[in-house]
């Protein structure tokens, strides 16, 4: 039980109110996307190192008391964590939490969509970088495009899960030929396609500035064929959203490299092994698992989180000389 009924809110030293928590539930994945993991995988965490559902639920409750409004469950590949729908069910029932969403590669969705819908999930992001089988095989190192497309179709049967967002990492030399195909997909299906700029978080360290295909460039390519109209979004939103002028569908751009949104960043992350990270590009993290397992109170744990949040980085330095890569890959952090 907490003694302090008005715990101090999560506000950082730049006055940013931290309202969005991304929590990774597993570091493992059934894909090996080249921009994320090495072909052979990574040294996986032991089961005892992963936060339990009780621990995750407790951290989310503590965070909600201190201002977190939305939680995104991610990984690694969250659907690989046994019992995921149960965790979703627990999270959607936390009082005061406004929004729970899931980010997945979609491979297991055909079988899991129903359970997720029944668990109360209302929002989902499916990662899909290409609609061409050979390119899919190349980028994910798995031949599973048809399963992902089937998973997306399965989701359409559950109208309680909307919007269905597709996240597409944009890579120069890879994505350009399919930009208009993705636009047509967004027009034809109830999917909001969002292009994300490639960030230096890949295990193989193949990222380089010339591989960034900016959101602006993709916007121009689409707008020339299918005129786009801006849609108002929340100021802390990371994506710029447009709708097609003729009313058929929406498209978005997440431009962390070319147009950083750090000044309005309201996000923190917790890794699958219970480390709090205040920025994707942090070079340090704060252990929450030891406090959780050593009998500390909710107030004490909330206070540890707050102290870390007060040190949240002003901005990432991808575009600056001497940029230092984060000490973990995207799959280990929880993108």
Q: By the criterion CB under 6 A, which residues form the site for ligand SAM?
A: 29, 35-36, 74-75, 77, 103-105, 127, 167, 169, 196, 198-199, 201-202, 330-331, 335
CA dihedral 51, 54, 57, 62 (to 10 degrees): -90
- Contacted entry of ligand SF4, ligand SAM, none for residue 53, CB cut-off 5 to 8 Å set by kind: none
Phi, psi of 269, rounded to the nearest 5 degrees: -130, 150
Q: Which is nearer to ligand SF4, 67 or 75 (CB)?
A: 75
How many residues bind ligand SF4 (CB under 6 A)? The answer is 13
Q: Which is nearer to ligand SAM, 69 or 211 (CB)?
A: 211
- Residue 225, classified by CB atoms within 10 Å of its CB into exposed (0-12), middle (13-18) or buried (19+), is exposed
Q: Which is nearer to ligand SAM, 271 or 331 (CB)?
A: 331
**Nearest distance in Å: CB 202, ligand SF4:** 9
- Contacted entry of ligand SAM, ligand SF4, none for residue 201, CB cut-off 5 to 8 Å set by kind: ligand SAM
Cα-only R_g, the chain: 19
Residues 115-133 as b/e (b if ≥16 CB within 10 A, e otherwise) read: ebbebbbbbbbbbbbbbee
Q: In what order do the strands lie in the sheet with 250-254?
A: 228-231, 239-244, 250-254, 191-197, 164-170, 123-127, 99-104, 70-74, 20-24, 267-270, 275-277, 286-287
The residues pairing with 126 across neighbouring beta strands, listed in sequence order, are: 104, 166
- Which of residues 10, 20, 31, 148 is near ligand SF4 by CB under 6 A? 31
Q: How far apart are CA 80 and CA 236, in angstroms?
A: 30
Q: Which is nearer to ligand SAM, 167 or 239 (CB)?
A: 167
Q: Which is nearer to ligand SAM, 130 or 331 (CB)?
A: 331
**Nearest distance in Å: CB 198, ligand SF4:** 11
Confirm if 170 and 197 have CB atoms less than 8 A apart. yes
Per CB under 6 A, the segment of 31-39, 222-230, 283-291, 314-322 that binds ligand SF4 is 31-39
69 Cβ partners below 8 Å, 6+ apart? 19, 20, 96, 97, 98, 99
Q: Is residue 50 a contact residue for ligand SF4 (CB under 6 A)?
A: no
- Contacted entry of ligand SF4, ligand SAM, none for residue 32, CB cut-off 5 to 8 Å set by kind: ligand SF4
Confirm if 185 and 141 have CB atoms less than 8 A apart. no
Q: How far apart are CA 160 and CA 166, in angstroms?
A: 17
Q: Is residue 76 a contact residue for ligand SF4 (CB under 6 A)?
A: yes
**Nearest distance in Å: CB 316, ligand SF4:** 19
Q: Is residue 168 a contact residue for ligand SF4 (CB under 6 A)?
A: no
- Which of residues 18, 22, 26, 32 is near ligand SF4 by CB under 6 A? 32
- Name the site residues for ligand SF4 (rule: CB under 6 A): 29, 31-33, 36-37, 75-77, 105, 127, 330-331
């Amino acid at each position: 039980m907490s003694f302090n009924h008005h715990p101090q809110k999560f506000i950082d030293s730049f006055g940013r109110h931290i309202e969005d928590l991304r929590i990774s539930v597993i570091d493992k994945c059934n894909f090996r996307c080249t921009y994320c993991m090495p072909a052979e995988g990574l040294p996986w965490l032991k089961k005892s190192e992963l936060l339990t559902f009780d621990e995750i639920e407790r951290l989310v409750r503590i965070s909600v008391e201190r201002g977190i409004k939305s939680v995104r469950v991610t990984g690694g590949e969250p659907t690989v964590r046994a019992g995921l729908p149960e965790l979703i069910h627990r999270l959607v029932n936390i009082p005061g939490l406004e929004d729970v969403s899931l980010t997945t590669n979609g491979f297991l969705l055909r079988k899991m969509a129903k359970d997720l819908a029944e668990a109360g999930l209302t929002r989902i992001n499916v990662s899909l970088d290409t609609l061409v089988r050979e390119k899919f095989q190349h980028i994910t190192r798995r031949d599973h495009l048809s399963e992902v497309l089937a998973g997306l179709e399965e989701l359409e049967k559950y109208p309680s899960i909307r919007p269905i967002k597709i996240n597409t990492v944009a890579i120069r030399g890879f994505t350009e030929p399919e930009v208009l195909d993705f636009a047509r997909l967004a027009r034809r299906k109830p999917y909001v396609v969002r292009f994300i700029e490639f960030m230096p978080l890949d295990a193989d360290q193949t990222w380089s500035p010339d591989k960034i295909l900016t959101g602006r460039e993709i916007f121009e390519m689409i707008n020339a064929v299918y005129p786009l109209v801006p849609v108002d979004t929340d100021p802390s939103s990371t994506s710029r959203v447009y709708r097609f002028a003729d009313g058929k569908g929406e498209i978005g751009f997440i431009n962390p490299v070319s147009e950083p949104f750090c000044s309005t960043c309201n996000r923190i992350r917790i890794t699958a092994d219970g480390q709090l990270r205040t920025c994707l590009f942090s070079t340090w993290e704060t252990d929450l698992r030891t406090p959780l397992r050593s009998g500390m109170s909710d107030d004490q744990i909330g206070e540890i989180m707050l102290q870390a949040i007060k040190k949240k980085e002003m901005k990432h330095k991808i575009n600056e000389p001497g940029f230092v890569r984060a000490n973990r890959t995207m799959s280990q952090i929880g993108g």
